[in-house]
Structure 1
Amino acid sequence: MIKYYYPDGSHCYRALHTAHAVFRNEAGALIARAEKPDGSALYEFEITGFELVVAGERCT
């Protein structure tokens, strides 16, 4: 599992196989690319960090 941290302080959990990329955009914001729950498409959203729940290590 991946725990994504959002800029507003909230978070969500996603299955590892739905994660496609984490990168910084031109403005320097941390962006995650993931698969929609129904598998129909990819979408991107801003995050402040993420945690691999199994490892328990937060990456920023």
Structure 2
Amino acid sequence: MMITYCDPDGDWCCRALHTAHAVFHDADGKLIARAQAADGEAICAFEITGFELI
């Protein structure tokens, strides 16, 4: 299973579901995703507008 993250600029990226750590609203109300980086070494947090499980 995969998760597709939608970026604020209209772009998107797909990650394996097991790399997803959290999706939450920050103090400013922005939707934030936290996921394992593609290299598998770090956890990245980034703003998104939505996500979809595929």
Q: How does the TM-score come out when normalised to structure 2?
A: 0.93
Measured after TM superposition, the shift of residue 38 of structure 1 is 1.7
Measured after TM superposition, the shift of residue 49 of structure 1 is 0.3
What is the aligned partner in structure 2 of residue 26 from structure 1? 27
Measured after TM superposition, the shift of residue 26 of structure 1 is 0.1
Q: Which amino acid aligns with 2:29?
A: G
Unaligned runs of 5+ in 2: none
Q: Which has the larger radius of gyration?
A: 1
Name the Cα RMSD after superposition: 0.6
Structure with higher RCO (Cα < 8 A, 6+ apart): 2
Measured after TM superposition, the shift of residue 41 of structure 1 is 1.1
Q: How does the TM-score come out when normalised to structure 1?
A: 0.84
Measured after TM superposition, the shift of residue 37 of structure 1 is 1.4
Q: Give deviations 1:3-42, integer Å, cap 9, x for gaps.
A: 1000001111111011000000000000000001121110
Q: Which amino acid aligns with 1:39?
A: G
Q: Report % sequence identity.
A: 64
Unaligned runs of 5+ in 1: 54-60
What is the aligned partner in structure 2 of residue 3 from structure 1? 4
